[in-house]
Amino acid sequence: MRTQTELLTLAERMPKAELHLHLEGTLEPEQMFQIAKRNNILLKYHSIEELQAAYQFSNLQDFLDLYYQGMSVLLKEEDFYDLTMAYLEKVHAQNVVHVELFFDPQGHLARGIAFDIQINGITKALTEAEQKWGMTYQLIMSFLRHLSEESAFETLDLAKPFLDKITGVGLDSSELNHPPEKFSRVFQSCKDLGLKITVHAGEEGPPDYVWQALDILNVDRIDHGNRALEDTQLTSEILRRRLTLTVCPLSNLKLCVVDSMASHPIQKMLQLNLNATVNSDDPAYFGGYMNENYRALIQESNLTEDELYRLAKNSFAGAWLSTAQKNHYLALVDDAFKAKEPT
């Protein structure tokens, strides 16, 4: 039986996959100021400290207001490259070996930033990370749910020349009053194009939004899914379909989705045999990347070694990887847990 200190060490050194990460949410205050200066953009904040002080949120919308301000500094391909590479360097140092990251093209298109500028900068960094470290990846294009389905269709049309670089499509932004069914037609079009589907549901929205994601959008994965636990029939259906939940502990705490890390539902999800995973969501805004999320769970929720093992395995089991790639990574997880000392 490992001690808590040993579990913390194990969590840091074990291989990890991150399945729920918004690229624009990795924009650290220092980098935001750096890119703003390079692009001659005047921020409303006068210092890094003032900006950091603004990172206090009472709900999802408070966060989104700042999130959209932050992305305004991204104008050129090199900006998207630098943002992506900064994230990849951080998580490589935390033994993240596979990433599946979201980007929000509509938030940039509305500012006149062409689709190719965005995706070329992002994929250049992802390709370099794969070449340098063997890090594998998938790119997920997200639709903004506070915008119309027509806008989503327009974005999908712009993306079609680049579908060889995009594995899946997501749905994020303000959840309340924007149910998944609002986007039923565009997600069917995405399915017809062979794209994977994942949808934010059950973070602030009701269990019914998760039902809609399952039955109307026919999702391949669910992002967050916390409130699904309020409906036993729903949790049974998620289990029956073996859908992965991409859970974000520090994000949930920062946005007041949970009252404390000790009361976080991820352990209940594991008790119900749901395929829950740990992810960082928007780490620059929520106080931590992958290792920090695991550390908070171990220290404040008394996460057990078995639960840590299952979370690590779930992340690769739920990834959009080939069977051979999954088996390779799952074997690495087993090796990490069998090791007596840090390697």
Detail the residues annotated as belonging to a binding site for Zn(2+): 20, 22, 200, 281
Q: Is the Cβ–Cβ distance between 82 and 89 less than 8 Å?
A: no
Pairing of strands 168-172, 221-224: unpaired
Residue ranges of the binding site: 20, 22, 200, 281-282
Residue ranges of the binding site for substrate: 282
| Cβ-based burial of 323 (10 A; exposed 0-12, middle 13-18, buried ≥19) | exposed
Instruction: Spell out the residues 6+ positions from residue 40 whose beta carbon is closer than 8 angstroms to its own.
Output: none
Question: Which residue stretches of the chain are H helix?
Answer: 4-13, 29-38, 48-53, 60-70, 77-93, 105-109, 115-133, 149-159, 184-192, 207-215, 232-241, 249-254, 266-271, 283-286, 290-301, 305-317, 323-338
CA 26 – CA 67 distance, rounded (Å): 10
Residue 275, beta-bridge partner list: 244
Torsion sign across C-alpha atoms 63, 80, 47, 279? positive
For residue 100, give the amino acid letter: E
| Catalytic residue check, 50 | no
Write down the catalytic residue from 28, 77, 100, 203: 203
Instruction: Spell out the residues 6+ positions from residue 283 whose beta carbon is closer than 8 angstroms to its own.
Output: 21, 25, 26, 250, 289, 292
Q: Is the Cβ–Cβ distance between 26 and 86 less than 8 Å?
A: yes
Positions marked active-site: 203
